[in-house]
Structure 1
């Protein structure tokens, strides 16, 4: 494993507005995510109520989000069957689409095993960072 590559990827992620970076060269997969923290504004001089556990959010299907801005493609080429269809079983790490950015085709990989419930974007549609692409039922 190339530690210099990992350090460069970490530096690139830190300097970008992305929250997560996922790189796969076919043999090695590297996923790096920024740590999310909750910041409280203590400068207001207000007393804050004791923290009480929030009610659990309604659990919905898992969403696969776009990691970049580009053009979404369901298949590797025109006329070729799509990587996945609604109702298909998918595995963690499986390629499920492509996003073309700067004339480079970047794989979209499933990050959980399950069943594709919905494909949320059309083939050839422009997508942006954080845009939901797929809904996956993890059960």
Structure 2
């Protein structure tokens, strides 16, 4: 029982051949983080943060502008333009930070104005009651 086995060591290209019938050049797999090369993260677009700011904290329409830049960043990322996506993403991030800071300052200012207004109104009511009680006494 002599059976011979032959092993084909030629690269298998799935039937893809060049125009001249030759095999396509061998391509190496991308070295991932296991081989020591860092994996570059895609640029962020901050769409959810921009949407939140547009709905809840739209100070001077900056939330809407952040949403526009976020969509531009996402479009650039889909097209493969990482530098353009990074630029639009940074602009959206700066606008979102500005919106949050301005919204917090506005809320704090409103709370301070309401607190001082309530104190002023209560003092005015107290003075008015004192005048009325004094006028009824005479």
Q: Could you tell me the TM-score, scaled by structure 1's length?
A: 0.20
TM-score, normalised via structure 2 length: 0.20
- Larger Cα Rg: Structure 1 or Structure 2? 2
Higher helix proportion (structure 1 or 2):
2
Which one has the bigger strand percentage?
A: 1
